[in-house]
Chains A and B, each alone.
Chain A
């Protein structure tokens, strides 16, 4: 079954911003709203979960977050849904989301980190593409002009991506073509065994994470491997792993080596430090879209 691509955006189209997971103050997203309207030429609708009155970790109760998100998915006036931020909480409402209308009239849903569970759920159950990419805070401090935030604009407009990055000594050279899937490692692992599990066979997988212990990354890679998520890949893209922690009794290996060891027995291309991460370096990637990955001796390229 071919992947469904939501319509690309035209000037004057509307982007809805919601927070289906953690709380976000409106000020943290106001620059994003301004840029989307004044510079990118879209209309913006802000859902009640952005800058909400919630006093908890979440931007609202499960029901409030679900309602706000559902409304944006179903609203005919909204052509794309941008998640304000991740945090934690999408997994608590994912099963309750009604995809009936969305399935017939898909639109781009944008986000990463905790939003990975949405991408994975949507891709595996409905074969609809969505965008793993920068969220509202990435627009702050003048950064909306950087090539990573700009890549989101291009993706929404339907310009095909052509990304490249430097080589890494542990890269395994080669070429791969396939649907690109992936996201936050902890969330990919969390989805295993559930209805939101990411399908990886015959696909190119990308992973990134932040703030994890080395042993925990090792254990998550173990789980990917033992649940059959690594052996039949076309390629592996390792993004940024920020703020990696280590125990007092040190793990004794760097994060690149840890990950490489889990795939050393396979033959597909592998690249490290690809610009997809919790840092500024975070290209927009269309989950489920066809990409060509080239891991060469001079550079790495990823083209739609």
Chain B
């Protein structure tokens, strides 16, 4: 799978915040739901800006964040290591109270311009309702991560309409940069490009299962299981008119099927602009319980009655080819015979 990044100009931070793209005429302007209008873009990062690293979910050792901290310093950023890094409360990076406080400090500290979650695992949902977003809403900053961090993307998008960055986290940075594959380097560099305001272009190979077409919409999504676990909560996203991307790992095929039924039956598939399917790593069926359908077939059945483009094998997920994606930002999707392309607009 090959993905190119094009340098397509540079959005200044002040400008970006105002870069409200004229969008769908169907939404009433007097009663604006934050997640139905183009997002507020946090200021892009400049050399010398500070990135905070925290562990709102699973635990990570201090040693394990060194490659990420070192590389981001080479990019010209200052690094603030949160006190949950190196902390451990069983599977978590500290108690709920500790993880909440560390996240809160980073959200509220005006010096910190972006917050990278060190890893996923499980735990963001246990603190999201206790976070005080008052300062963050006034001075938005980039929140970075994926997998369990989908909770934060979804919550921030739905409640505040502020863009976030879905990308690899500290535990995916190569220990020795020069030993890393070209693809791994590209995915890590896509984080830097996204944070500095570059508009990214992504490509995916042709798939027989794709549905061709072209669509424009706000990009939302993340980990499928996590999205399902947010249904009907205060962090649940509205997907109407949007480009939805999903990825997951370690789920049974029947579970993928069930989750897509949940998306469908909770109204999240019927009004999409387009569907983007990243990596879905499957857990082998138990003996005698063979599901008998591939993820491609499962998903295509759930969306066959709609007309929007569907793109499979997109470079996002629990895998090496997992590129940084700006959630809440307008994108254009092209699904063609020659392959698929996603462009930030």
A-side residues, CB < 8 A to B, are 22, 55-57, 87-88, 91-92, 95, 189-190, 192-197, 215, 218-220, 222-223, 226-228, 247, 249-253
A252 touches B89 (CB 8 A): yes
Cβ of B59 under 8 Å from chain A: yes
Residues in A with CB closer than 8 Å to B234 are 226
A194 touches B90 (CB 8 A): no
Contacts of B257 in A (CB 8 A): 88, 92
Would A223 and B91 be within 8 Å (CB), given that A249-B58, A249-B121 are in contact?
A: no
Q: Which residue of A lies closest to B233 (CB)?
A: A226
The CA of A195 and the CA of B289, in the complex, are separated in Å by 28
Q: Is the CB of B91 within 8 A of A250?
A: yes
Least CB separation from A211: chain B residue: B286
- Distance, CA A183 to CA B258, complexed state (A): 17
- The distance in angstroms between the C-alpha atoms of A51 and B93, with both chains bound, is 50
With A215-B122, A249-B90, A251-B90 as known contacts, state yes or no: A192 contacts B265, CB within 8 Å.
no
Checking B122, B233, B235, B289 against A57 with a beta-carbon cut-off of 8 angstroms, the contacting residue is: B289
| Complex Cα spacing A220 to B129, Å | 15
- Given the interface contacts A194-B265, A195-B265, A223-B230, does A57 sit within 8 Å of B91 by beta carbon? no
CB <8 Å contact, B231 and A57: no
B contacts with A: majority SS: loop
Distance between A66 CB and nearest chain B CB, rounded to angstroms: 14
Closest to A89 in B: B254
Complex Cα spacing A223 to B230, Å:
6
Shortest A300–chain B CB gap in Å is 29
Tell me, rounded to whole Å, the shortest Cβ–Cβ distance linking B150 to chain A.
12
- Kindly provide the distance from the CB of B295 to the nearest chain A CB, expressed in whole angstroms: 14
Show 18 A/B contacts (Cβ-Cβ < 8 Å), sorted by A.
A56-B292, A57-B285, A88-B258, A92-B261, A190-B228, A192-B232, A193-B231, A193-B236, A193-B262, A193-B265, A197-B232, A215-B122, A219-B229, A223-B229, A249-B91, A251-B90, A252-B90, A252-B92
- Closest residue of chain A to B255 (Cβ to Cβ) is A88
What is the bound-complex CA distance between A196 and B231, given in angstroms?
A: 13
B126: Cβ under 8 A from any A Cβ: yes
**Do A57 and B292 contact each other (CB < 8 Å), given the known contacts A95-B265, A192-B231?**
yes
User: Residue-by-residue, is B85-97 near A (CB-CB < 8 Å gives 1, otherwise 0)?
Assistant: 0000111100000
**Which residues of B are at the interface with A, using a C-beta cutoff of 8 A?**
58-59, 89-92, 121-122, 125-126, 129, 228-236, 254, 257-258, 261-262, 265-267, 285, 289-292
Bound complex: CA A228 to CA B233 (Å): 8
| Shortest beta-carbon distance from A251 to chain B in Å | 5
Chain B contacts for A190, CB-based, 8 A: 228, 258, 261-262
Residue among A22, A87, A88, A250 with most chain B CB within 10 A: A88
- A76–B42 Cα distance when bound, in Å, is 64
- Tell me the complex Cα distance, A86–B318, Å: 31
Q: Are A222 and B125 in contact (CB under 8 A)?
A: yes
Chain A CB within 10 A, most for which of B59, B121, B230, B236:
B230
Q: Max chain B CB contacts within 10 Å: which of A219, A223, A227?
A: A219
Measured in the bound complex, the distance between the Cα atoms of B60 and A129 in whole Å is: 49
From the candidates B59, B121, B235, B290, name the one contacting A56 in the complex (CB within 8 A): B290
Most chain B beta carbons < 10 A, residue from A195, A196, A215, A251 = A215
Q: Which 10 residue pairs of A and B lie closest in terms of their CB atoms, listed nearest first?
A: A252-B90, A193-B231, A193-B266, A194-B265, A226-B233, A227-B232, A56-B292, A193-B232, A215-B122, A249-B91
| In the bound complex, CA of A193 to CA of B235 (Å) | 12
**Contact residue among B121, B129, B229, B261 (Cβ-Cβ distance under 8 Å from A91):** B261
Chain B residues whose CB sits within 8 angstroms of the CB of A91 once the complex forms = 258, 261, 265
Report how far A189 CA is from B92 CA in the complex, Å.
Answer: 23
In the complex, how many angstroms separate the beta carbon of B267 from the nearest chain A beta carbon?
A: 8
Residues of A within 8 A of B228 (CB): 190
Chain A contacts for B232, CB-based, 8 A: 192-193, 197, 223, 227-228
Using Cβ atoms and an 8 Å threshold, which residues of chain A touch B89? 252
B250 CB to nearest chain A CB (Å): 10
Pairwise interchain contact B233-A249, C-beta atoms closer than 8 A: no
- Distance between Cα atoms of A249 and B91 in the complex (Å): 5
The one of A95, A223, A247 in contact with B231, judged by C-beta atoms closer than 8 angstroms, is A223
C-alpha gap A92/B253 in the complex (Å) = 14
Contact at A250–B90, with CB atoms within 8 Å?
Answer: yes
Shortest Cβ distance from B50 into chain A, in angstroms? 29
- Complex interface: chain A residues within 8 A of B126 (CB): 218, 222
Q: Pick from B59, B92, B229, B262: contact of A222, CB below 8 A.
A: B229
In the complex, what residues of B have CB within 8 A of residue A250's CB? 90-91
Question: B225 CB to closest chain A CB, in angstroms?
Answer: 8
Q: Of A88, A197, A226, which is within 8 A of B129 by CB?
A: A226
- A247 CB contacts on chain B under 8 angstroms: 91
